[in-house]
Amino acid sequence: MARRPSPSLTDGELRIMQALWARGRGTVNEIVDELASPKPAYNTVLTMLRILEQKGHVMHEKDGRAFIYLPLMDHGQARERAVSHLLKRFFDGSAEMLVLDLLGNSRVSADEVERIRALIAQAPGKPAKVKKGSPR
Protein backbone atom coordinates (compact mmCIF):
# COMPACT_ATOMS: atom_id res chain seq x y z
CA MET A 1 0.00 0.00 0.00
CA ALA A 2 1.38 3.44 -0.95
CA ARG A 3 2.30 5.84 1.81
CA ARG A 4 0.05 8.86 2.24
CA PRO A 5 1.84 12.09 1.22
CA SER A 6 3.12 14.10 4.17
CA PRO A 7 1.76 17.64 4.60
CA SER A 8 5.19 18.74 5.77
CA LEU A 9 8.32 18.88 3.63
CA THR A 10 10.88 16.09 3.61
CA ASP A 11 14.56 17.07 3.75
CA GLY A 12 14.91 16.62 -0.01
CA GLU A 13 11.74 18.60 -0.73
CA LEU A 14 12.94 21.38 1.55
CA ARG A 15 16.23 21.61 -0.39
CA ILE A 16 14.29 22.03 -3.62
CA MET A 17 11.90 24.56 -2.10
CA GLN A 18 14.86 26.58 -0.77
CA ALA A 19 16.31 26.66 -4.30
CA LEU A 20 12.94 27.81 -5.65
CA TRP A 21 12.58 30.48 -2.95
CA ALA A 22 16.08 31.74 -3.78
CA ARG A 23 15.31 31.92 -7.53
CA GLY A 24 11.61 32.79 -7.34
CA ARG A 25 10.95 30.41 -10.25
CA GLY A 26 12.92 28.03 -12.42
CA THR A 27 13.21 25.08 -14.75
CA VAL A 28 14.42 21.73 -13.48
CA ASN A 29 17.93 22.48 -14.80
CA GLU A 30 18.00 25.88 -13.08
CA ILE A 31 16.87 24.33 -9.81
CA VAL A 32 19.53 21.60 -10.06
CA ASP A 33 22.15 24.33 -10.68
CA GLU A 34 20.93 26.22 -7.59
CA LEU A 35 21.34 23.19 -5.31
CA ALA A 36 24.52 22.70 -3.30
CA SER A 37 26.68 19.65 -3.86
CA PRO A 38 26.11 16.79 -3.94
CA LYS A 39 23.64 17.72 -6.67
CA PRO A 40 20.80 15.26 -7.23
CA ALA A 41 20.12 13.94 -10.72
CA TYR A 42 17.80 15.82 -13.06
CA ASN A 43 15.21 13.01 -12.90
CA THR A 44 15.28 13.03 -9.09
CA VAL A 45 14.56 16.77 -8.98
CA LEU A 46 11.82 16.39 -11.61
CA THR A 47 10.17 13.61 -9.59
CA MET A 48 10.35 15.65 -6.39
CA LEU A 49 8.89 18.70 -8.13
CA ARG A 50 5.97 16.57 -9.32
CA ILE A 51 5.43 15.35 -5.75
CA LEU A 52 5.61 18.94 -4.47
CA GLU A 53 3.04 19.89 -7.10
CA GLN A 54 0.71 17.05 -6.00
CA LYS A 55 1.05 18.27 -2.41
CA GLY A 56 0.12 21.80 -3.51
CA HIS A 57 3.48 23.39 -2.67
CA VAL A 58 4.49 24.32 -6.24
CA MET A 59 2.90 24.82 -9.64
CA HIS A 60 4.27 24.95 -13.14
CA GLU A 61 3.75 27.09 -16.20
CA LYS A 62 4.59 25.94 -19.69
CA ASP A 63 7.14 28.05 -21.57
CA GLY A 64 7.59 26.51 -24.99
CA ARG A 65 8.73 22.96 -24.30
CA ALA A 66 9.99 23.76 -20.79
CA PHE A 67 8.08 23.79 -17.52
CA ILE A 68 8.79 26.72 -15.20
CA TYR A 69 8.16 25.81 -11.54
CA LEU A 70 6.95 28.40 -9.02
CA PRO A 71 6.52 28.05 -5.25
CA LEU A 72 2.95 28.38 -3.99
CA MET A 73 4.03 29.04 -0.40
CA ASP A 74 6.81 31.14 1.03
CA HIS A 75 9.39 30.12 3.60
CA GLY A 76 7.31 31.54 6.45
CA GLN A 77 4.29 29.45 5.49
CA ALA A 78 6.47 26.34 5.31
CA ARG A 79 7.82 27.08 8.80
CA GLU A 80 4.28 27.54 10.13
CA ARG A 81 3.20 24.19 8.68
CA ALA A 82 6.28 22.44 10.07
CA VAL A 83 5.78 23.89 13.56
CA SER A 84 2.07 23.04 13.47
CA HIS A 85 2.93 19.47 12.43
CA LEU A 86 5.54 19.25 15.20
CA LEU A 87 3.09 20.58 17.80
CA LYS A 88 0.41 18.06 16.84
CA ARG A 89 2.78 15.12 16.59
CA PHE A 90 5.01 15.52 19.63
CA PHE A 91 3.37 18.05 21.96
CA ASP A 92 -0.37 17.24 21.80
CA GLY A 93 -0.97 20.63 20.16
CA SER A 94 0.45 22.49 23.16
CA ALA A 95 2.67 25.47 22.35
CA GLU A 96 3.40 25.72 26.07
CA MET A 97 4.90 22.22 26.13
CA LEU A 98 7.04 23.05 23.09
CA VAL A 99 8.35 26.28 24.63
CA LEU A 100 9.04 24.58 27.96
CA ASP A 101 10.93 21.84 26.13
CA LEU A 102 12.96 24.40 24.17
CA LEU A 103 13.74 26.49 27.25
CA GLY A 104 14.78 23.39 29.17
CA ASN A 105 17.34 22.70 26.47
CA SER A 106 20.86 23.83 27.36
CA ARG A 107 21.42 25.15 23.81
CA VAL A 108 19.20 28.20 24.47
CA SER A 109 21.42 31.20 25.15
CA ALA A 110 20.69 33.98 27.64
CA ASP A 111 20.21 36.39 24.70
CA GLU A 112 17.62 34.07 23.15
CA VAL A 113 15.76 33.83 26.48
CA GLU A 114 15.66 37.63 26.69
CA ARG A 115 14.32 37.92 23.12
CA ILE A 116 11.66 35.31 23.98
CA ARG A 117 10.66 37.30 27.07
CA ALA A 118 10.33 40.46 24.97
CA LEU A 119 8.19 38.64 22.40
CA ILE A 120 5.93 37.25 25.13
CA ALA A 121 5.53 40.74 26.61
CA GLN A 122 4.39 42.03 23.19
CA ALA A 123 2.21 39.03 22.30
CA PRO A 124 -1.51 39.56 21.71
CA GLY A 125 -3.69 37.82 24.26
CA LYS A 126 -1.01 37.96 26.92
CA PRO A 127 -2.27 37.73 30.48
CA ALA A 128 -2.79 40.96 32.37
CA LYS A 129 -0.03 41.90 34.79
CA VAL A 130 -0.85 40.86 38.32
CA LYS A 131 0.37 42.92 41.26
CA LYS A 132 2.23 41.01 43.93
CA GLY A 133 -0.10 39.77 46.62
CA SER A 134 -3.30 40.37 44.63
CA PRO A 135 -5.46 37.42 43.64
CA ARG A 136 -5.67 36.52 40.00
| Residue 15, domain member (yes or no) | yes
**pLDDT given at position 127:** 58
Domain count, the chain: 2
| Residue 129, domain member (yes or no) | no
Which letter, b or e, does each residue of 1-20 get, where b requires 16 or more Cβ atoms within 10 Å of its Cβ?
Answer: eeeeeeebbeeebebbbbbb
Is 85 in the same domain as 98? no
**pLDDT given at position 6:** 66
Residue span of the structural domain in which 107 resides: 94-123
| Residue 119, domain member (yes or no) | yes
Going by pLDDT thresholds of 50, 70 and 90, the confidence category of residue 112 is confident
Percent of the chain scoring above 90 in pLDDT: 54
| Residue 48, domain member (yes or no) | yes
- Most distant pair of Cα atoms in the chain: their distance: 73
Packing angle of the helix pair 110-122, 95-103 (nearest 10 deg):
150
Is 20 in the same domain as 67? yes
CA-wise closest residue to 11 among 33, 40, 34: 40
Is 54 in the same domain as 106? no
Is 80 in the same domain as 102? no
Q: What are the tens digits of pLDDT across the range 74-97?
A: 999 999 988 998 999 999 999 888
CA-wise closest residue to 85 among 8, 3, 4, 2: 8
Is 20 in the same domain as 56? yes
Is 32 in the same domain as 73? yes
| Residue 118, domain member (yes or no) | yes
Is 105 in the same domain as 79? no
